Amino acid sequence: MSEANSPQDWNAVAERVARHVEDYLSGLEAVARGEAGPHTVPMLLLEVSQVILAGAQLGASKDVILPDNWEPEVGEDPDLDSLRQGLAERLLTIDEYVEVFDPYKDTEPTSYRLSDDLVDVASDLVHGLRHYHQGRPLEALWWWQYSYFNHWGNHAGAALRALHAVVANARLDVVTEPVSVQ
């Protein structure tokens, strides 16, 4: 990111992040409907990885500052309970996991649910996307950046580690078949 982000620079960043957000939300909705079938966990791993890239871009950018330090109202955020329920049904056997939420401050693992984490991320992203769709890219970026540091970045990172563990364990815990030497 350039040191002196112009409105055009911020607009380009907002457009890139908005595409990542829309892809994440579409992917999550498809998985919640059962469209990923046996590929549910790898698909979620991919979706979370890609939205974390957007978060990393926000983290590497200078702070987004709103004029007058004020966020315009966007109205009620959508109810995402059906999305949460659909994900919980698909992730039934692996939904609960433990995580040390902040490796520098926490000393005890805490129980979490993938379905909750994935939807918490979606909720924060939707809020920013509503600003973006209302023609306020700077407000969208401010919200995405602030909530990345404050909330969704931690939940996405924790979900990524849990999903990675499931995929890695499935791939690495294979029974080796005997090799016949002739």
Q: Is the pLDDT of residue 4 over 50?
A: no
Q: What are the residue boundaries of the structural domains of the chain, listed by start?
A: 7-172
Give just the sign of the alpha carbon dihedral 91, 93, 95, 97.
negative
Look at residue 175 in the predicted model and tell me its pLDDT. 53
Look at residue 1 in the predicted model and tell me its pLDDT. 42
Query: Mean pLDDT over all residues of the chain?
Result: 89
Look at residue 102 in the predicted model and tell me its pLDDT. 76
Q: Is the pLDDT of residue 3 over 50?
A: no
CATH class of 7-172: mainly alpha
Look at residue 178 in the predicted model and tell me its pLDDT. 54
Write the CA distances from 127 to 85, 112, 122, integer angstroms: 20, 23, 9
DSSP 9: H
Q: Tell me the pLDDT tens digit for each residue of 33-67.
A: 999 999 999 999 999 999 999 999 999 999 998 88
The residue ranges of DSSP E strands in 42-108, in sequence order, are 96-99
Q: What are phi and psi of 147, to 5 degrees?
A: -70, -25
Give just the sign of the alpha carbon dihedral 116, 122, 124, 130.
negative
Look at residue 176 in the predicted model and tell me its pLDDT. 52
Q: Is the pLDDT of residue 140 over 60?
A: yes
CA distance 57 to 1: 8
